[in-house]
């Protein structure tokens, strides 16, 4: 849809006849429409605005607790009602009132403009005709030769009246009529443009479609929205997968600890994404979803804040040093939270890790896959990791771990293994994960 086609002011050439002709041929010759039609349209718009306002009021009364309509059905009905302030539905009547006001104001001037322009046009037409007659009369029918007298015996006499006087007077009248027409016409143009601007100004509410910078913003917002959805989905998948793997790999404590860490981080990401979906995009994210997300983040809730504190405390330090220090503090907190969250039992597990051989107990892990259903699907990656690890067993414990992490984590492996190593280091005396190049 194109933009508004604005009315343009009438500009006239300097030549009188050309200017008068421009007045007579201007398009449109007079303001289109009638004041009645504008008033009628404004009335319809105002009626609609009032009807919309009344309907919103009726719905608001039903939505209110003290509504006359009570009962279970009324309660169900209330659940489908939206807050008009949140959806901006309350701005619809104002928009229609804005249209109506613009049209009514224009209508109030239209009759005057039309009669002024009609009158000025008539004056231009008649004065132009007069001017043309006088100009034709003042001009000689044929060129005179002053040397020849007619009759030849008559003495030379000067003109009694200047033959151009009447022509100049007609020109003056015609020019005045032209100026009057231009003034009247441009006064109408001003009113019409004022009406157009008033209609356009209605679009300053929050109802308009995104366009220009807003469109770009909306596009970014749309992309971000999709990203948030995808993040929530992927994080949810990772969280569930790693939580399952953590359980399945309990016989292999280093992997279990790492999967627990990954699961917790993923739960945190999913919680943030779901909160954003709920608050910003009003998606159907239940409190149950948020509760489960939050549950998954418990081991890292405190470490997150500790890491932030660490980051603030390191103001002025180098970037690398900052990240290392924050990571170390974060990891220390992970260890303490793991112990704190799971209690003495966790301490026993962690203590047991020190003496555990860094080699998977494949039989124990495989037993968990024997059950039917989705657990098998979730465990496909774990099984593949186990196979890879088993194939690499002769290359030593570090090769086994490296192969497993490459399969399960892919490109994210180095980062996550590094974080987990730091965490394990801070818990104290645990076997470190061996992904090359990550742990200094």
Partner 1 sequence: MGGAIDVDIDVLRRLAADLVGLAAQLDADNKDGTGIGDWISDPKIRTALKNIQHDWSHKRGEFVGYLKGVGQAAQAAANAYAQTEHQIATAARH
Residue 207 binds partner 1, judged by CB under 8 A? yes
The only residue of 18, 40, 169, 295 in contact with partner 1, by rule CB under 8 A: 40
Minimum CB separation of residue 63 from partner 1 in Å reads 11
Query: Quick one: 54 or 129, whose CB is closer to partner 1?
Result: 54
Report the distance separating Cα 432 and Cα 426, nearest Å. 11
- 119: helix, strand or coil: helix
| Concatenated DSSP letters of 172-209 | HHHHHHHHHHHHHHHHHHHHHHHHHHHHHHGGGSS-SP
Instruction: Choose between 204 and 352: whose C-beta lies nearer to partner 1.
Output: 204
- Are residues 427 and 338 in contact, defined by beta-carbon separation less than 8 angstroms? yes
- Contacting residues for 342 by C-beta, under 8 A, at least 6 apart: 349
Question: Quick check: 32 binds partner 1 (CB under 8 A)?
Answer: yes
At its nearest, how many Å lie between partner 1 and the CB of residue 12? 21
DSSP 93: H
CB 35 → partner 1: shortest distance, Å? 11
Q: Would you call 6 helix, strand, or coil by DSSP?
A: coil
Count of C-beta atoms within a 10 Å radius of residue 11:
9
Q: Does 9 bind partner 1 (CB under 8 A)?
A: no
Q: Which residues contact residue 113 at a Cβ distance below 8 angstroms, ignoring those fewer than 6 apart? A: 31, 184, 187, 188, 191
Q: How far is the CB of 125 from partner 1 (least distance, A)?
A: 24
Q: Is 271 in the site for partner 1 (CB under 8 A)?
A: no
If binding is defined by CB under 8 A, does position 349 make contact with partner 1?
no
Residues in region 85-124 near partner 1 by CB under 8 A: 87-89, 92, 95, 99, 103, 106
CA nearest 193: which of 9, 1, 2? 9
- Asked whether 369 and 379 are in contact (CB, 8 A), the reply is yes
Give min distance, CB of 246 to partner 1, in A.
44
Interface with partner 1 (CB under 8 A), residue total 54
**Residue 318 Cβ, how far from partner 1 at the closest point, in Å?**
49
Cα–Cα distance between 199 and 202 in angstroms, integer? 5
Per CB under 8 A, the list member of 178, 202, 245, 433 interacting with partner 1 is 202
Among 9, 29, 50, 51, binds partner 1 (CB under 8 A): 51
Closest CA to 259 of 305, 229, 299, 231: 299
Q: Is 6 or 165 the residue whose CB approaches partner 1 more closely?
A: 6
> What is the residue whose two structure tokens read 């007609």?
170
Residue 139 or 216 having the CB closest to partner 1 = 216
Structure tokens at 349: 């597990």
Q: What backbone phi and psi angles, to 5 degrees, belong to 161?
A: -120, 140
Please enumerate in sequence order all residues whose Cβ is within 8 A of that of 339, keeping only pairs 6 or more positions apart, or say none.
346, 347, 350, 427
Stretch that binds partner 1, among 33-41, 120-128, 333-341, 422-430 (CB under 8 A): 33-41
Rule CB under 8 A: say whether 188 interacts with partner 1: no
Q: What is d(CA 84, CA 57) in angstroms, rounded to the nearest whole number?
A: 10
- d(CA 210, CA 196) in angstroms, rounded, equals 21
φ, ψ for residue 297, nearest 5 deg:
-95, 0
Query: Within 61-90, which residues bind partner 1 (CB under 8 A)?
Result: 68-74, 77, 80-82, 87-89
Among 6, 165, 227, 281, the residue binding partner 1 under the rule CB under 8 A is 6
Closest contact distance (angstroms) between CB of 108 and partner 1 is 14
Binding part of the chain for partner 1, among 188-196, 268-276, 339-347, 357-365 by CB under 8 A, reads 188-196
Q: Which 220-259 positions form the footprint of partner 1 (CB under 8 A)?
A: none
Q: Tell me how far, at minimum, the Cβ of 25 lies from partner 1, in Å.
A: 18
Q: What residue ranges bind partner 1 (CB under 8 A)? A: 1-7, 31-34, 37-38, 40-41, 44-45, 48, 51-52, 54-55, 58-59, 68-74, 77, 80-82, 87-89, 92, 95, 99, 103, 106, 192, 195-196, 199-200, 202-203, 207-209, 211
């Amino acid at each position: 849809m194109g933009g508004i086609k604005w009315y343009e002011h009438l500009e006239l050439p300097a030549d009188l006849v050309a200017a008068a002709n421009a007045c007579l041929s201007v398009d449109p010759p007079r303001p289109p429409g009638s004041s009645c039609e504008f008033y009628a349209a404004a009335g319809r718009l105002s009626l609609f605005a009032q009807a919309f306002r009344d309907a919103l009021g009726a719905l608001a009364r039903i939505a209110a607790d003290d509504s006359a309509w009570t009962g279970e059905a009324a309660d169900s009905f209330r659940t489908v009602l939206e807050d008009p302030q949140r959806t901006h539905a309350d701005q619809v009547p104002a928009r229609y009132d804005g249209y109506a006001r613009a049209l009514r104001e224009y209508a109030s001037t239209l009759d005057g403009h039309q009669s002024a322009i009609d009158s000025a046009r008539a004056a231009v037409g008649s004065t132009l005709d007069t001017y043309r007659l006088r100009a034709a009369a003042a001009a000689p029918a044929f060129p005179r030769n002053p040397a020849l007298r007619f009759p030849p015996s008559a003495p030379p006499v000067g003109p009694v009246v200047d033959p151009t006087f009447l022509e100049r007077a007609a020109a003056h009248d015609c020019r005045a009529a032209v100026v009057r027409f231009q003034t009247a016409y441009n006064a109408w143009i001003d009113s019409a443009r004022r009406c157009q601007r008033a209609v356009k100004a209605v679009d300053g509410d929050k109802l308009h479609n995104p366009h220009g910078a807003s469109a770009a913003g909306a596009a970014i917002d749309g992309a971000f929205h999709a990203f948030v959805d995808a993040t929530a989905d992927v994080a949810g998948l990772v969280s569930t997968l790693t939580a399952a793997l953590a359980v399945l790999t309990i016989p292999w404590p280093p992997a279990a600890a790492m999967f627990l860490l990954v699961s917790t981080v993923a739960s945190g990401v999913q919680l943030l994404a779901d909160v954003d979906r709920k608050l910003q995009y009003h998606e159907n994210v239940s409190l149950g979803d948020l509760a489960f997300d939050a549950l998954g983040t418990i081991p890292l809730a405190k470490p997150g804040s500790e890491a932030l504190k660490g980051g603030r405390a390191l103001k002025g330090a180098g970037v690398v040093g900052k990240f290392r220090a924050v990571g170390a503090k974060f990891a220390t907190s992970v260890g303490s939270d793991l112990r704190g969250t799971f209690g003495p039992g966790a301490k026993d597990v962690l203590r047991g890790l020190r003496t555990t051989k860094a080699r998977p107990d494949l039989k124990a892990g495989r037993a968990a896959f024997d059950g039917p259903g989705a657990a098998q699907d979730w465990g496909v990656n774990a099984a593949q990791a186990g196979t890879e690890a088993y194939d690499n067993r002769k290359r030593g414990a570090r090769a086994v771990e490296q192969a497993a992490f490459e399969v399960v984590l892919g490109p994210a492996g180095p980062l996550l293994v590094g974080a987990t190593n730091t965490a394990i280091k801070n818990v104290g005396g645990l076997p470190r994960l061996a992904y090359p190049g990550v742990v200094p």
